[in-house]
Amino acid sequence: MESDPLLEATAGGTLPHRGPLQVSAWRHKRRWSISGTDSFADMALVDGTTDDLAEIAEAARAWHAGAALSDLCRAAPFMHLSGRFEVPDHDPARLAESEWQHLRTEASELEYPWGSAYQALVEAAYAEPALRGLYPFTSHWALRFSVTTRPRLSVVGPVLVAQAVGRFTVAETMASKDAARFTTAPEAVAVAVRLLPYGSAPVTLGRWPASAAGEA
């Protein structure tokens, strides 16, 4: 679907590792949303919603000037940090750590009680070196792992799910009908580690094939 120039706009920037800031107007309410991503995998670094158009202008100005992420929020307090940090050189280990930081930030902001179970699962997985060395991602709130970073993931190992406080499951794949059940996140994580194939880490950079990326 084509974008509507009356509802959507972008603000470019001076930093090559950032994509343009996306600005969207709500259709039935005087409110605007923004999203700023990295240019490598198009993952959100900042987002936010405000009903003050002047704040949108400040956010766009700071993004264009290449302000640090923390400074963006000072310039426009409605902006929300995703937890990811910028990795201009695309170092895969740093990209993995950035994604872990995003998941931990996201989990800490979820509402109780389900949020506390999910946070416990993410923190338990992050505390385990064998999992922390992989690139984490979620699919329908199931915690999964890859031996390559985005934009091209290479999934490895089990699927971890926090269903509620005291209810954690581990399955070999998303399609598995049989899942092991545990009452604590560390128990589930310990089993997940045992299901990892030998030599899963270190994580490497995920890239689309040249033909898929449209490269010569």
> Domain for residue 77, yes or no?
yes
pLDDT score of 216:
34
Query: Hey, how many other C-beta atoms are within 10 angstroms of the C-beta on 158?
Result: 27
> Domain for residue 69, yes or no?
yes
- Domain span at 67: 8-81
Query: At residue 91, does pLDDT exceed 90?
Result: yes
134 and 59 co-located in one domain: no
181 and 104 co-located in one domain: yes
d(CA 74, CA 47): 14
103 and 189 co-located in one domain: yes
Q: Tell how far CA 103 is from the center of its chain.
A: 6
> Domain for residue 204, yes or no?
no
Question: Among 9-18, 28-37, 195-204, which is the least confidently predicted range?
Answer: 195-204
59 and 96 co-located in one domain: no
> Domain for residue 26, yes or no?
yes
Q: Which among 89, 4, 8, 87 is positioned nearest to 43, based on CA atoms?
A: 87
Percent of the chain at pLDDT exceeding 90: 81
105 and 144 co-located in one domain: yes
In this structure, are residues 200 and 132 in contact, taking their beta carbons and an 8 Å threshold?
Answer: no
pLDDT in tens, 6-29: 789 999 999 999 999 999 999 989
Question: Among 18-22, 37-41, 110-114, 121-125, which is the least confidently predicted range?
Answer: 110-114
In this structure, are residues 121 and 173 in contact, taking their beta carbons and an 8 Å threshold?
Answer: no
Selected residue with higher pLDDT from 187 and 199: 187
> Domain for residue 200, yes or no?
no
117 and 68 co-located in one domain: no
pLDDT score of 3:
59
For the segment 58-62, the average pLDDT, to the nearest whole number, is: 97
Q: Write out the DSSP string of 129-181.
A: HHHHTSEEEEETTEEEEESB-TTS--EEEEEEEEEETTEEEEESSTT-S--EE
Query: Hey, how many other C-beta atoms are within 10 angstroms of the C-beta on 203?
Result: 23
77 and 23 co-located in one domain: yes
d(CA 97, CA 74): 24
For the segment 119-147, the average pLDDT, to the nearest whole number, is: 96
Domain count for the chain? 2
Confidence of residue 173 (pLDDT cuts 50, 70, 90): confident
121 and 49 co-located in one domain: no
75 and 96 co-located in one domain: no
> Domain for residue 18, yes or no?
yes
Query: At residue 78, does pLDDT exceed 60?
Result: yes
